[in-house]
C-alpha cells in the first residue's frame, strides 16, 4: 500500500562528540517528533556493535497488496541501524549501547514523541438482509441486490506534524453453505478466513486514498451491499437452499506523506449479516435474517492471504462481498 511520498524523516544517526565523558564513554541524547507509521532509522556513526532496548508498539514493516498483507517483526536488538515504525501514539524513551571501532563504549538515549490522527468510523445499517428476486439473490440491501445495505461514515483529524493520506480498507470472512440436488453442505472454500474485500480491483483500498493535510479534518464515506446469487447464468436454480453469513472489519487507515511510511489503522468497525433461502413449489422464500454493526478500537494491522475478487471465489456460486 505505497504511493509516492515527499521526503523521509531524518534518520536518527547519532554523531558522537570527539571527546568522551569523564568515565570514558561517548554519550548522546537524540530527540524527535513523528507520526505513527513513519519510518525511523536509529544508529551511531562508527559503531561496530550495538544492543538496543527497543520500545513497544513497533513493527519492522508492513507489506500490503491486494493479494496478501504481512507484518514484519521488529528488528533484532543487535542491528547496527534498526529501522522500524511506531503503530501507537505515545512518548517513548529507550537506550542503546555498543562499541566503536577503537573499542570504546557508546551510549545513546532516544526520546520520541509519536502522534496519530483522531479518527472514528460510524456504521449504519440502511438495508435488510433477505431474499430478493430478479435476479434471485440473498443479499443485504434496501430495495434490491445492488442497493446499499450498510453505510460507513469515517472522520479523521490529522494532529500529526505530517500531511498524509486516508482510506478505507475492509476484510471479509465469508461463511456460505448450500444444498443442491446432488451435493449437500457445500461450503465456500474460504469459510472462516479473512480476505481483502477490494472492489477497486488490483489494489487494497476499499475507498480512497484521499489527502489529509496536517491540522485538517476530513470525512470519508462508503457503502457495501453483499449478496449471493442463487440462480445459474441460464436461470436454472444453482442450488435448492442457501445459507449466507459474513463477518466484516472496516478499517479507517492513515499513512504519513513521508518516504517509506506505512499504513496504520486509526479506527474500525465490525459488522455481519446472515440470511437463508430455500426453494418451494411457489418459488424462493427467505427466512432467518439478521444484521449487526459496531464501532471498535483497531485490532492491529490488518492482514490477509487472499482477496474476494479472486476468480476462484467469484465463480463459486456467483457472489459479491
**What residue ranges do the domains of the chain occupy?**
12-115, 118-320
Q: What pLDDT does 216 receive?
A: 97
Kindly give the confidence (pLDDT) of every residue in the chain, 321 residues in length, as a single tens digit, with 9 standing for 90 and above.
433 233 445 567 777 666 677 677 788 888 899 999 999 999 998 899 999 999 999 999 999 998 899 999 999 999 999 999 999 999 999 999 999 988 889 999 999 999 999 999 999 998 888 888 777 778 887 655 557 889 999 999 999 988 999 999 999 987 766 666 555 444 555 556 788 987 776 789 999 999 999 999 999 999 998 887 776 544 566 666 666 778 999 999 999 999 999 999 999 999 998 888 877 777 777 777 788 999 999 999 999 988 887 766 554 444 555
DSSP state of 23: T
pLDDT of residue 320: 56
CA 6 to chain centre: 22
What pLDDT score does 309 carry? 74
17 closest CA partner among 110, 111, 108, 112:
108
- What pLDDT, on a 0 to 100 scale, did the predictor assign at position 219? 98
CATH domain 12-115 topology:
Immunoglobulin-like (2.60.40)
Enter the C-alpha cell of residue 117. Answer: 490522527
Contact assessment for residue 138 and residue 276, using Cβ atoms and an 8 Å cutoff: yes
Which residues in 274-298 are b (16+ Cβ under 10 Å) and which e? bbbbbbeeeebebeebebebeeeeb
pLDDT of the residue at 109: 93
Alpha carbon of 16 to those of 11, 44, 146: distances in Å?
Answer: 15, 7, 63
**Cα radius of gyration (the chain):** 25
Amino acid at each position: 500500500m505505497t504511493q509516492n511520498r515527499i521526503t523521509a524523516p531524518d534518520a536518527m544517526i547519532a554523531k558522537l562528540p570527539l571527546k568522551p565523558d569523564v568515565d570514558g564513554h561517548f554519550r548522546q541524547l537524540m530527540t524527535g517528533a513523528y507520526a505513527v507509521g513513519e519510518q525511523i532509522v536509529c544508529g551511531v556513526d562508527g559503531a561496530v556493535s550495538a544492543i538496543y532496548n527497543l520500545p513497544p508498539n513497533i513493527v519492522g514493516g508492513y507489506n500490503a497488496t491486494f493479494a496478501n498483507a504481512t507484518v514484519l517483526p521488529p528488528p533484532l536488538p543487535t542491528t547496527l541501524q534498526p529501522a522500524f515504525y511506531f503503530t501507537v501514539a505515545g512518548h517513548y524513551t529507550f537506550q542503546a549501547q555498543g562499541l566503536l571501532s577503537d573499542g570504546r563504549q557508546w551510549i545513546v538515549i532516544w526520546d520520541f514523541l509519536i502522534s496519530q490522527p483522531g479518527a472514528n468510523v460510524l456504521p449504519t445499517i440502511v438495508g435488510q438482509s433477505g431474499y430478493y428476486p430478479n435476479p434471485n439473490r440473498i443479499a443485504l440491501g434496501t430495495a434490491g441486490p445492488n442497493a446499499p445495505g450498510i453505510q460507513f461514515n469515517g472522520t479523521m483529524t490529522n494532529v500529526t506534524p505530517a500531511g498524509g493520506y486516508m482510506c478505507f480498507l475492509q476484510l471479509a470472512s465469508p461463511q456460505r453453505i448450500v444444498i443442491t440436488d446432488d451435493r449437500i453442505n457445500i461450503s465456500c472454500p474460504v469459510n472462516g478466513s479473512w480476505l481483502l474485500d477490494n472492489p477497486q480491483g488490483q489494489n487494497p483500498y476499499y475507498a480512497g486514498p484521499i489527502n489529509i493535510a496536517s491540522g485538517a479534518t476530513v470525512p470519508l464515506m462508503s457503502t457495501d451491499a453483499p449478496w449471493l446469487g442463487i440462480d445459474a447464468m441460464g436461470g436454472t436454480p444453482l442450488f435448492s437452499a442457501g445459507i449466507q453469513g459474513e463477518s466484516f472489519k472496516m478499517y479507517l487507515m492513515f499513512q504519513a506523506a513521508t518516504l517509506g511510511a506505512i499504513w496504520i489503522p486509526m479506527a474500525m468497525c465490525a459488522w455481519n449479516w446472515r440470511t437463508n433461502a430455500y426453494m418451494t413449489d411457489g418459488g424462493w422464500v427467505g427466512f432467518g435474517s439478521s444484521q449487526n454493526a459496531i464501532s471498535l478500537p483497531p485490532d492491529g494491522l490488518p492482514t490477509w492471504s487472499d482477496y474476494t475478487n479472486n476468480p476462484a471465489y467469484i465463480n463459486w456460486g456467483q457472489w459479491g462481498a
